[in-house]
Structure 1
């Protein structure tokens, strides 16, 4: 996760925020930059993963109070040391560096209460490695979902009317030529007020039975809940598959195009497909009735 020389990386510069940035400002900067360089959006860039890792590392450390405090202390010390270095001549600089090196070597064997600032920062980063950063995980999951959504990858539940047909039944005597007072036109008159009807099929073999397919979930549910039909011969509506079914499909990100001969061909194919669906619906109804008989 974090390199051993993390104190040599300017995490604030990575996120392009000042050292005084609030946690909210740090998160905002991370989201903006991560969206631009996420590996999923840059599959051909070999450096995308490295850049994204650097952003994640900066977010992880700078949103943890203890780790950020330790990092800031090292950062300030390095800034002050750099200023002092600029004021020293080469000879004094070498003497100073030798002295600091010996002091660090001497500190290595002492207890944790006498750790150097760099060692304290390393300890904080090790703690983050052990504990894991919940905030980082949440941000990365959010980022992935956002990218998938913008790229049209995220799948959403959709209504497929062909999977959610409704069985309609009513009482009728076998010798009743009026089919209990119902025909296709009568059923359409009762049902169309709930929404567009994709298909409505009267049973070709059994009286008192039909199937309806609505274009939307709302229309289907309203019809199931509210429709009673004729007062003297009420309708009974039930899901053919016992309960509504949702499926998924990719978002359609294509826009409208200029009408061409191919579009007219598509309309013809659509009508042929609807006729085939209607025939399939009739066959399914007949098969269902044969299984029950």
Structure 2
């Protein structure tokens, strides 16, 4: 490797002999061990000793810079969230186009049916936070699946709400994938507009329409898998950022 390479272009973890998930303490320990053997004073006959020692010092400075690590993680997480949002918006656009096309082809009766879901969660009557589910929180959770036409939180029955989506597909994704808050999960069930399964449509070979429907179903499953993967990655990235923050705070107090 040329001596002019920037620190971030090198395999800093490999240079110190630690894994990418190594803690700051492990990085410092590895640096001390390497520095003892690579110090120029202990290797007077090795012309590369000073260069190696300098690289070790650079690796230590970069890898123990907690602020820089958190910034990089936030940037990566932001890119993933932006990609997730782009995919969801693209799906919404396609659904709107299909909705308009369905009306033009005479399928207006089905198009007028708006799907409604019932939401339930644990909440005591004297809980002012409504179990963590305010209107803003519910909208933030649900709108990633598609346009929400109406959201009504029950004033009589605590821990209960009804949501009306613009498309059946958005409602289906919410029912299949949404679990709500970790400490207070959501139970989502159909209230109105649930699509009927029609196996003959998929199995029939007499027309080209079933093949189109089958291909569309496969595409939708792929899309759902991709969106959920992006959501999991973003959540894991956020957890890692929080863990790094805690480790940095603990380090500052020791």
TM-score (norm. length: structure 2)? 0.34
The structure whose Rg is larger is 1
Larger relative contact order (C-alpha < 8 A, sep ≥ 6)? 2
TM-score (norm. length: structure 1)? 0.29
